[in-house]
Amino acid sequence: MLTCTSCSAFAPDGARFCPGCGAEVSSALGEERRVVTVLFADIVGFTTLSEHADPEQVKRLVDGIFQKMVEDVVLFGGHVDKIIGDCIVALFGAPITHDDDAERAVRAALKMQQTLSDHNREAVSGLQMRIGINTGEVLVGASRAGGAYTAMGDVVNTASRLQSEAPPGRVLVGQPTKVLTDRPIRYSWFESLTPRGREQSIDAWLAEEVSLRPGRRRRERSTPMIGRAEETQLLLSGVAYAVARQKALLVAIDGEGGVGKSRLAEEIVRTAREAHGLSVLVGACVAYGEANVWWPIATALSDALGLGDMEAEGVRRTGMQRAAELLGRADDDPEIGRIGDAFLHLVGQPSALDRLDAVRAREELTRALITVLHARCNRGPLLLAIADVHWADTVVLNLLEQLLTNLANLPFVLLTTARPDVEVAWPPMSPLFTSLHLRLEPLDRSSTEQLAAAILGDSADSAIVASLYDRSGGNPLFLEELATLVADGGHVGDLPDSLRTLVSARLDQLTPDQRAMLDNAAVLGASGSLTALLRFAEALGQHGDSSTLDALVDAGLLAREGRRWSFRSQSVRDVAYNTLTKAVRAVRHYGIAESLATIYERFVLLSGSGGPNETTREGTANRDEIAHHYATTAELVAELGPVSGVPGDVVDRAVRWLTLAAERASGQHYMRSAVRLATRGLDLLGEEVDDARVPSMLRLCLIRAASHAEQRNIARARADLDRVLRSSELLGDLESEAEARRILGTVVRLSGNLPGARDEFSEAVRLFREVGKPLRLARALRDRAFVELLGGDLHLAEQLLDEAERLTQGGADAIGLAWVEWHRAWLSFISGDLVQAEARLDLAQRSMTAMGDRGGLGWAQGLLAYVRYYQGRTDEASELADRVLEEALDRGDDWAAGMMQSLQANLWLWRGRTEDALKQGETARTRFKRMGDGFGELLALAPLTRATAALGRASAHQRTVEEMHLLGDVYQMQGLVLLTEAASAAQLGESERAVRAAELAVDTDRARIGFTSEAWVARALGLVQLGRPEDALRCLEQAETAVAGVAYAYLTSVRVLVDVSLGEFDAALARSAAVSADYGASYLDHVYAGVGAALAHARTGSPRAAVNALDRADAIAVRTGDVVAKAVIALARSIVDPEREAGQGLELDVPLHGWRRLFESTMTQS
């Protein structure tokens, strides 16, 4: 017999359609992976009974018992897997999943024990039963031998072992089952079992009794209701309207399982009772375990009247007394007697209504309820809340509608919750009563993250909290299960069994076409195009279309935007995917890969767009998708062995596409992706690679090594390169050896060994010339030139780039030409020709944009940001830095991100946000330090050094200067170190050190850095502080020559101080005004120019103007946090206006000797 997966009815072997519901049942033979609760029950003493009794007697006895046991299993929604002798095996969760299968299994087990006990009293058999239960993932489907539907896996074996260890007459469950059911079931500890042949022990618990009715849940934690303010206000407004207008109101809340219907309903009930004075009756419909169709109404009245476990006469008497009180009639009134009988019938006790036919009995019950509730509403407003009406019988729904109609002009509120079900005609619409129908949607991201934080606590990791939205899709119950897992030490990406069963129950309600499409979507990924999804269904011979997708959207499982779909919750996707067997996954992934590869080759390669600008427009594919599906197929086959429908060369196909995808990722500077893809390919090839696959191995190792190098993972890059060099030398593969030498040159350069890098790049150049690979040779020449740009011969660098350009033009490599221009722009930048650097970057950007090279474009824009910074166009520099940083983080390009953070630190410093500069500089430094990149760390230390100087932190400043010198020696960047030291020393008034460091900076970088203008200015500032204004003036003239007449606010502000020292007061005031009007001037430029203007005014007999100039400078300095600048202004004020108190700015460890000397000499000169 087959089992229909839609209605659980049995169908004959070989049947294609279910005789009960008409659904296709051929899929029942298919295998699935499901979370199932397995129940093993075994009669104790069966062997002894068989030994002493006639076989027919034994069979009749066991058949009679097992018939009742099977009825108990079916009553609670289970599926009898098999009956073998004295043992019965049942599955809960297959072939149909419910969201409480574990609870159903334990309830069924306890009921089975009670049924056997009742049978023993009737038959005096004295038999007992052991029951074991366990929950977990199993493989379900038809066995190959007999074709019967069954379950296989360790969970089944564990349930069997628990049964054998259970005391007679008891139910023993494993830890997974206990965890899922410890709210509605009371347990006691049994022991920890260690079955023979198992490494791990099994914690076992005895199920004692049911502590909650079916459908009731004890709330495990008290969490605030978040994200439902508007819904709550809407519904409570309706309740207030019903009470004020004395009108009946239906509040119908529906939504997917776990979306928060019960939580919202509880809030409405609580507020209605407390704020509006409503009396409340609460009932719930149940899906199983209760034969009384009136159960929802019965529970509501029983709880309100305290009927509990009363005998029939107590129920009748209590009902009559309450009815008599409400109606104002005597207890012996015939009407009161009829109401008492109705109460008995309602709670499932024998009554006079049993003698009537079903229709008459219903009418009597309805009339009695209307009479009682009508009387109750006349005394005050009443709210009747019925949960889960999607499980209610039609007669109950009809009764509820009649209550609304007959109580229409009374303050009566009916509140119901339900899951969407097209077969349930609820809620009803009528002009006689008011209706509020609310479809409750999942929480938005903000509310989900608030709720997650409330569950996990204030110390919750923000990244985990954010990811919980994607995992839960905003479903509060999903979120609670996931957050509980995380709180207990689990990983946010894990999927707890409780959540799997919740989701599986929703998926099992889908039609076959809907389920097939959802499974296909799960294989495709988290999102995709409608075209691909429909094409996939067509290839599998399925019947899904756009309307099928719409149904999945309506069910809250998928979202749709235009021609694209996505899973609302990653957990739903995971459950759907994990339900498929690994063999089925392998076949489907392979089919997708083949289809996408065909599309790719047809529409991408043939159109000539297979380069970096490869797109994924509707109906096309990209390398990453194809590689993923081939690789997943190969990995599954490696785990399972050969799979029918998957060819034997799938590993080679996967490696080919992984290589193509990794090359593209590397070319786009998505280095983490490149490493991941290359590693996946290498893992498929394994450690022992046969000769035919060695070229693929070498290619993947080279891609991964280059990507590791770009991420500054030096040790990992070297390991891959050593493997390539060993293999290439053995094989005589000069091209692979040359590429390995080129990448090794980058690794050596990043380690700070520029001479070693020259040697490696030169060897790569030689080998590429020998093998005749012009484009690869051009790449090696660019890398060789970059070494000279960093610390060598700029003329040689230009020659190398010229040759690279000729080779690249010959190979028609547009991207290569763009990178030549980028290197030339760098050359112009470090030579101080910012105009030429900008022009060359413009050419590079245009080519990179045309070719879709996002990574290269980011590098070009990053260098342009530095150009803008040195041009004084700080707003543009900041905008570029922000954008490039965001894209770098998106690509996983840590080095580019660190460079932009260093630039941002400089920009903050420029604007006077000294503390922000310090923090951002430290962030950049930490990033580079983590990467092991001393060069980048040196660049980040430059703004850090300037910031610590400005903040007056002398010891920290000295420490950063020393660290810069150490790194500068390693990376041959002493010019930058000396320039930074000179500028900060001049700011601190350490004149001699400023002059000495600036002189060395000029001498060091005269040939190759080009930014000697700043060193000349710093030297001039130190000289004027030493009382040598004529020498300072000559330095400034050198600086003007270096900047080629471009306006330079730093130079102008120092010139103001030099003019004052030379007695050129009018010139000083004019230049100070020019700095004030210069939008590109830094805060420090304004301070220096303001102090100079104050000195000029003081010397020309304008003390009030002098004070005003100092006040303006002080107002600027105060906003910056630069305590040294404030101290300089205070010192100037004490000398210019000695009668005024100097202020707090002088209370520094920094003596400011140079500034004092400058101010005093200026004020005393004749």
Tokens encoding 66: 């097992």
Q: Distance between CA atoms of 520 and 576, rounded to whole angstroms?
A: 9
> Is residue 752 pLDDT above 90, yes or no?
no
Which of the four pLDDT bands, split at 50, 70 and 90, describes residue 621? low
Instruction: Compute the C-alpha angle 935/938/942, nearest 5°.
Output: 145
Query: What is the C-alpha to C-alpha distance for residues 943 and 902, in angstroms, rounded to an integer?
Result: 7
Tell me how far apart the alpha carbons of residues 800 and 807 are, in angstroms, rounded to a whole number.
Answer: 11
Neighbour tally for 562: CB within 10 Å: 8
Q: What is the DSSP string of 159-214?
A: HHHHHHHSPTT-EEEEHHHHHHHTTTEEEEEEEEE--TT-SS-EEEEEEEEE-S-T
| One CATH from 1.10.10.10, 3.40.50.300, 3.20.20.140, 3.40.50.720 for 512-580 | 1.10.10.10
What is the share, in percent, of the chain residues with pLDDT greater than 90?
44
Lowest mean pLDDT of 297-301, 398-402, 653-657, name the range: 297-301
More confident residue, 526 or 25: 526
pLDDT of residue 20: 53
Give the CA distances from residue 506 to residues 235, 555, 557, in Å, rounded to whole numbers and listed in that order: 27, 9, 9
Question: Quick one: CA torsion of 551, 554, 556, 557, rounded to 10 degrees?
Answer: 20
Residue 905 reports pLDDT greater than 90 = yes
Amino acid at 410: L
56 Cα distance to chain centroid: 63
Tokens of 1084: 């420090």
**How would residue 616 be classed by pLDDT, with cut points 50, 70 and 90?**
very low
pLDDT confidence band for 422 (50 / 70 / 90):
low
Count of positions (residues) in the chain:
1166
Alpha-carbon distance 389 to 385, whole Å? 10
Given a contact cutoff of 8 angstroms between Cβ atoms, the answer to whether 1157 and 1027 are in contact is: yes
pLDDT for position 455: 79
Q: Are 636 and 581 in contact (CB under 8 A)?
A: no
Predicted pLDDT of residue 459: 64
Q: How much of the chain, in percent, has pLDDT values that exceed 70?
A: 89
Average pLDDT over residues 1024-1031: 94
- DSSP letter at 790? H
Asked whether the beta carbons of 476 and 263 are under 8 A apart, the reply is: yes
Residue 1145's pLDDT band (boundaries 50, 70, 90)?
very low
Query: Dihedral sign, CA of 714, 715, 720, 726?
Result: positive
Task: Specify the amino acid at residue 514.
Answer: Q
Is there a contact between 1116 and 912 (Cβ–Cβ < 8 Å)? Answer: yes
Confidence of residue 509 (pLDDT cuts 50, 70, 90): confident
pLDDT at 709: 92
Query: Mean pLDDT for the chain?
Result: 85
813-842 pLDDT tens trace: 889 999 999 999 999 888 778 889 999 999
The residue with greater pLDDT, 503 or 172, is 172
Does residue 54 surpass a pLDDT of 80?
Answer: no
Q: Decide yes or no: CATH 3.30.70.1230 for domain 32-210.
A: yes
Residue 498 vs residues 178, 735, 797: alpha-carbon distances, Å: 11, 55, 64
Please check the confidence at residue 27 and state whether its pLDDT lies above 50: no
pLDDT band of residue 16 (cuts 50, 70, 90) is very low
Give the pairing type, strands 128-142 and 171-174: parallel
Residue with tokens 């008011």: 434
What does residue 832 show for φ and ψ, rounded to 5 degrees? 85, 5
Question: Do 659 and 633 meet the contact criterion of CB atoms below 8 Å apart?
Answer: no
Sign of CA dihedral 852, 853, 855, 860: negative
- Which neighbouring-strand residues pair with 89? 40, 82
Identity of the residue numbered 407 = L
For the ranges 415-429, 986-1000, 1033-1047, 1121-1135, which has the lowest average pLDDT?
1033-1047
Distances (CA, A) of 555 to 442, 459, 509, 512, 534: 12, 35, 10, 14, 19
Average pLDDT over residues 635-646: 93
CA-closest candidate to residue 257, choices 494, 499, 428: 499
Q: Mean of the pLDDT values across residues 1097-1101?
A: 91
Residue 314 corresponds to which amino acid? G
SS3 371: helix
> 157-169: per-residue pLDDT in tens?
999 999 999 999 9
Q: From 333, 303, 307, 335, select the one nearest 319 (Cα to Cα).
A: 307
3-state secondary structure 417-435: EECCCCCCCCCCCCCCCEE
Q: Where are the domains of the chain?
A: 1-30, 32-210, 229-439, 445-494, 512-580, 583-710, 733-810, 1047-1166
Q: Determine the pLDDT at residue 1.
A: 41
Which residues are CB-neighbours of 993 under 8 A, at least 6 positions away? 981, 982, 985, 1022
Strands 185-193 and 202-210 turn out to be antiparallel
Is the predicted pLDDT of residue 433 greater than 80, yes or no? yes
SS3 1142: coil
How far from 347 is each of 316, 334, 340, 397, CA to CA, in Å? 10, 20, 11, 17
CA-nearest of 261, 287, 365, 377 to 327 is 377
Cβ-proximal residues to 258 (8 Å cutoff; 6+ apart), any chain: 475, 476, 477, 478, 502
d(CA 298, CA 307): 10
Selected residue with higher pLDDT from 508 and 1010 = 508
Cβ-contact 135, 102 below 8 angstroms? yes
Q: Could you give the dihedral angle defined by the CA atoms of residues 777, 781, 787 and 793, in that order, rounded to the nearest 10 degrees?
A: 150
Banded pLDDT at 972 (limits 50, 70, 90): confident
Q: How far apart are CA 977 and CA 967, in angstroms?
A: 9
**Span 733-810: which CATH code?**
1.25.40.10
* Alpha carbons 477 and 471: distance in angstroms, whole number: 12
- Three-state secondary-structure class, residue 468: helix
Rounded distance, CA 142 to CA 132, Å?
A: 23
Residue 389 · residue 285 · CB < 8 Å = yes
Output the CA torsion sign for 777, 779, 785, 787.
negative
The pLDDT of residue 23: 47
Say which DSSP state 349 is in. -
Instruction: Supply the DSSP string of 745-772, one letter for each residue.
Output: HHHHHHTT-HHHHHHHHHHHHHHHHHHT
Among 391, 95, 385, 423, CA closest to 267: 385
Average pLDDT over residues 312-324: 77
pLDDT at position 465 is 79
pLDDT digits (tens, 9 = 90+) for 768-812: 999 999 999 999 999 999 998 887 688 999 999 999 999 998 878
Q: Which is nearest to 66 in space by CA: 84, 54, 49, 48?
A: 84
**999 close to 1010: Cβ distance less than 8 angstroms:** no
pLDDT band, very low/low/confident/very high, at 215 (cuts 50, 70, 90): low
pLDDT bucket at 173, cuts 50 / 70 / 90: very high
* Contact yes or no for 717/708 (Cβ under 8 A): yes
For residue 574, the tally of other CB atoms under 10 A from its CB is 20
The three state secondary structure string of 992-1043 is HHHHHHHHHHHHHHCCCCCCHHHHHHHHHHHHHHCCCHHHHHHHHHHHHHHC
What per-residue confidence (pLDDT) applies to 24? 46
* DSSP of 222-273: -----S-HHHHHHHHHHHHHHHHHT--EEEEEE-STTSSHHHHHHHHHHHHH
CA–CA dist 619, 535 (Å, integer): 9
What is the Cα–Cα distance from 734 to 214, expressed in whole angstroms? Answer: 74
Rg (CA), the chain: 41
Give the Cα separation of 480 and 234 in Å (integer): 25
Judged against a pLDDT cut of 60, whether residue 1115 lies above it is answered with yes
CB atoms within 10 A of CB 237: 11
pLDDT at 364 over 50: yes
Residue 819 in tokens: 């990178």
Say if domain 229-439 classifies as CATH 3.40.50.300. yes
Q: Compute the distance between CA of residue 151 and CA of residue 141 in angstroms, rounded to an integer.
A: 7
- Which residue type occupies 807? L
Residue position matching structure tokens 């939008």:
1079
Q: Is the pLDDT of residue 312 over 70?
A: no
